[in-house]
Amino acid sequence: MNVLLIGGAGIFMNYMMNKLKKEGHRIYLLTGSRYKKQKYEKVFEMYNFTYDSDCMTQIFESVHPDVALYMGAFDSNYTWLDDRRDSVKYTSGLMNLLSAFSQGNYGRFVYLSSNEVFEGDFPEDILEDEERSSHSFKGMAIAQGEDICRSYQESRKLDIISIRIDHLYAMPTKRSEVDGVCANMCLSALEKKKIQANVNHRFSMLYVSDAVEYIYRLMTNSDHFSNLYHISSAEEISELTLAQTIREAAGEDVEIEERTDWDAREVLSKSRFDEEFGMRVFNTADEVARKMMSSMMKNRRVFLDGEKKREPLMERIKKRLGWFAAIMIPYLENMVCFIPFFMLNNRATGSEYFENLDFYLLYVLLFAIVYGQQQATFSAVLAVAGYLFRQMYTRTGFDVLLDYNTYVWIAQLFILGLVVGYMRDQIRVMKSESEEEQEFLNYQLNDMTDINQSNVRVKDALETQIVNHNDSIGKIYNITSRLDRYLPEEVLFYAAEMVSQLMNSKDVAIYTVSNGDFARLASATSKTARQYGHSIRYQQMDELSKALNEKKVYINRAIDKKYPHMASAIYEGDKMQLILMVWGISWEQMTLGTANLLVVVSYLIQNAVLHANRYMAALEDKRYVDGNRVLETEAFTTLVRAFYHAMDKDLTECTLLLIDVEPENYREAGDILNKKLRTSDYLGTLKDGRLYALLANTSNNDAHFVISRFQECGYQSQIVEEIKA
């Protein structure tokens, strides 16, 4: 089904996505933000819009969700640092979402509330009808969200469910994810070696994976009797007990500072949920607290990064001087480079070969080309100072200042330096603008790529859906229609082969239910499928029998070796007729989609199987000799051939026994020997006129037990290796 998740990124959201993806649902995500904060591989389509956006109606129309889940009290888009402002945004955003949801027939809307709607001391577990008592802006906003949902549900007759979650907590992987009483205690123990605990505060906590299972049950169950539920572990624990557990897990000197600030007991009652759905909690607070403390100790550095550490001296100097050092380094570099050029110029003066080579001009041009106009000006000033200093070796300063050539040289030095520096600066500006334009175009290209990828995903998904849809119908019809070509006696054998092909599994078994407790093996496709033997008491297989009796598909998610990976039952009216068992299904494929496929396959082969049974029952009088339980020759011959053909394909086992008895005694022998046979075994005559017993799902070794029973009744029999029919 199509599921629209509404909320920001976080641990809770990730758990929810993993569950829905595993069960084979198509996930759409409304992030509640304009910015792409995170990419999700498990999401079919993601919408980056705020909740107050005008396009909410278009989003709901595009997705057309079977279920819309709003994270509500656990939406990471709301930090609640400014309670008043966030409470206004919270209620207005929910109003806009529900307005868009109410515009069409979109299935179910689920709103997540929390225990924060209650404040105070509640001696008894809090029921759904208890009056809310929160005084904080956040608690009142969450409670108001419940009222808004109830108003829309009653006035517009919509399927809207509010779920209050009791003290949700999760295993943090970094410091920013530390939230809730348990995680904060663990961080305090790690950071300060001290835990503060209110002795009089008692509550219950629900681990995030358990909460997801509860929510998923409400999302997918077709019927519900209420529009408000509490989900909770119902396991009462005090802050002091929790602190002691964390201290033991830390294994270090951790001090517990006991406080008695207020008396409060806050435990939500989940009795309403249990009465309807009957689920249990898998993670206890004590167990998770120990694991959480152990995990945070192993990743100590990750959770202590938030502390302010004294940085090295150079780092502090770099941060404080920062911009000043960045500006001064080129000038210092310029001054250092000036020294060798000054020395070269002094050596070139009076030289026959280098007298006409102006090293100062080269020096200015070098810095103009590398650094630009500003450094060219500074290098020109240094060059002029060096030139004047060298000239005053042989002349007075006054003579140098009066020399016309001095000013001509200075002019050419500054002109060349400034022009080259200006050109360098212009090239740098053009390059910077080009890079900015390229970055902007790349950003647009990325947006276009994302849009194209989104369109391609939608196109491919729809194309695959259409192809698979047609392929599935054609494939299932082509395979199941073959059952109509087989004789009624052969249908059960080849039904196992059909299920094997359609479920893509080599290990399939079909059992016939002989009474309310036993089921006998009718056909199997492998040794693995025969592991239970020829008969089972399926009612003693607790989890499997419970699912089958409720007409549901059994899914072995725990990969328990005692049970098949999947099983389904075929009913005629209210009476169970057949049980289909499938092995060889990977854990990733144990999804709602695979379960639905098994249901479809069961229904498709049901008609052929039941038709064959009714046909056999209708011709029962004509098939037996003189009204006893001995099959007449033609019917028995057809049955034997069907068993042997199925045995050649390794779909079943059978043994044929020849009974030494005269024809005039067949009726008497039939009455006696049928009492020694199972309901799945047959007595009959072949074309040679002799009496035979066909033992279904029986090897030659097992047949010796039946031979012994016949001997006790005075009848000799032997195994027939080849049929002469």
- 103 occurs within a structural domain: yes
- 223 occurs within a structural domain: no
| Cβ atoms 75, 32 nearer than 8 A | yes
The vertex-669 CA angle with 666 and 675, nearest 5°, equals 135
Determine whether 628 is exposed, middle or buried from the number of CB atoms within 10 Å of its CB (0-12, 13-18, 19+). middle
Lowest mean pLDDT across 125-129, 347-351, 415-419, 693-697? 347-351
**pLDDT (mean) for 641-653:** 78
Closest by CA position to 215, among listed 77, 106, 98, 71? 71
* pLDDT given at position 49: 85
d(CA 378, CA 331): 8
Closest by CA position to 571, among listed 551, 554, 553? 551
- Which range has the top average pLDDT, 200-209, 354-363, 371-380? 200-209
pLDDT in tens, 458-483: 666 556 555 554 445 555 555 555 55
d(CA 367, CA 373): 9
The total domain count for the chain is 5
- 459 occurs within a structural domain: no
Domain boundary residue, one of 259, 286, 309: 309
Residue partners of 399: CB distance under 8 A and separation at least 6: none
**Same domain assignment for residues 665 and 569:** no
**Same domain assignment for residues 161 and 37:** yes
* pLDDT given at position 340: 83
663, pLDDT greater than 80: no
Q: Is 720 helix (H, G, I), strand (E, B) or coil?
A: strand
How many other CB atoms sit within 10 Å of the CB of residue 699? 12
* pLDDT given at position 95: 92
Closest by CA position to 707, among listed 324, 698, 126, 216? 698
* pLDDT given at position 6: 93
Lowest mean pLDDT across 452-461, 682-691, 692-701? 452-461
d(CA 583, CA 568): 12
Structure tokens at 244: 């002691």
70 — pLDDT class (breaks 50, 70, 90): very high
**Same domain assignment for residues 147 and 258:** no
610, pLDDT greater than 70: no
**Tokens 């067949």 found at:** 666
How many other CB atoms sit within 10 Å of the CB of residue 616? 15
Give Cα separations from 367 to 70, 157, 339, 431, 640 (angstroms).
62, 78, 14, 19, 103
* pLDDT given at position 466: 53
Say which CATH number the domain at 114 has. 3.40.50.720
* pLDDT given at position 310: 47
**pLDDT (mean) for 81-106:** 89
42 — pLDDT class (breaks 50, 70, 90): confident
Say which CATH number the domain at 538 has. 3.30.450.40
Structure tokens at 364: 């200015």
333 lies in which domain range? 313-442
Domain boundary residue, one of 421, 442, 463: 442
Structure tokens at 579: 């049980």
685 against 514, higher pLDDT: 685
105 — pLDDT class (breaks 50, 70, 90): confident
- 81 occurs within a structural domain: yes
338 against 486, higher pLDDT: 338
* pLDDT given at position 475: 53
- 375 occurs within a structural domain: yes
**Same domain assignment for residues 575 and 591:** yes
**Same domain assignment for residues 10 and 147:** yes
Give Cα separations from 649 to 79, 146, 249, 496 (angstroms).
65, 61, 59, 11
How many other CB atoms sit within 10 Å of the CB of residue 306? 12
642, pLDDT greater than 90: no
Structure tokens at 169: 């907590």
The secondary structure element, H or E, covering residue 87 is: helix 83-101
**Same domain assignment for residues 80 and 194:** no
* pLDDT given at position 470: 43
Give Cα separations from 136 to 139, 219, 575 (angstroms).
5, 29, 57
- 504 occurs within a structural domain: yes
CA torsion 702-708-714-715 (nearest 10°) is 30
pLDDT in tens, 444-461: 777 677 667 666 666 665
**pLDDT (mean) for 295-304:** 80
**pLDDT (mean) for 74-97:** 90
**Same domain assignment for residues 317 and 269:** no
Full DSSP string of 559-618: --TTS-SEEEEEEETTEEEEEEEE----GGG-SHHHHHHHHHHHHHHHHHHHHHHHHHHH
Report CA 576 to chain centroid distance, whole Å. Answer: 35
**Same domain assignment for residues 587 and 523:** yes
* pLDDT given at position 309: 41
Structure tokens at 714: 């005075």
**Same domain assignment for residues 153 and 7:** yes
505 against 330, higher pLDDT: 505
Domain boundary residue, one of 442, 460, 476: 442
d(CA 377, CA 595): 80
**pLDDT (mean) for 23-48:** 80
DSSP state at residue 504: T
Residue partners of 657: CB distance under 8 A and separation at least 6: 692, 693, 694, 695, 703, 706, 707, 710, 717, 718, 719, 720
211, pLDDT greater than 80: yes
* pLDDT given at position 481: 56
* pLDDT given at position 454: 60
Q: Is the pTM of this model over 0.85?
A: no
622, pLDDT greater than 60: no
How many other CB atoms sit within 10 Å of the CB of residue 94? 24
The vertex-145 CA angle with 142 and 149, nearest 5°, equals 150
pLDDT in tens, 231-243: 998 888 888 888 8
Buried/exposed 439-466: b ≥16 CB within 10 Å, e otherwise = eeeeeeeeeeeeeeeeeeeeeeeeeeee
**Same domain assignment for residues 29 and 142:** yes
pLDDT in tens, 570-594: 887 778 888 889 988 877 777 777 7
624 — pLDDT class (breaks 50, 70, 90): low
Say which CATH number the domain at 700 has. 3.30.70.270
Report CA 426 to chain centroid distance, whole Å. Answer: 54
The secondary structure element, H or E, covering residue 524 is: strand 518-524
pLDDT in tens, 398-432: 777 777 777 887 888 888 888 888 888 888 888 88
Say which CATH number the domain at 250 has. 3.90.25.10
Give Cα separations from 303 to 83, 172, 186, 311 (angstroms).
27, 9, 10, 18
* pLDDT given at position 297: 83
d(CA 608, CA 627): 27
276, pLDDT greater than 70: yes
**Same domain assignment for residues 298 and 322:** no
Structure tokens at 13: 């959201």
- 569 occurs within a structural domain: yes
**Same domain assignment for residues 323 and 293:** no
- 455 occurs within a structural domain: no
pLDDT in tens, 140-183: 999 999 999 999 888 888 899 999 999 898 888 888 788 888 88
| Cβ atoms 659, 718 nearer than 8 A | no
| Antiparallel, parallel or unpaired: β 566-572 and 508-513 | unpaired
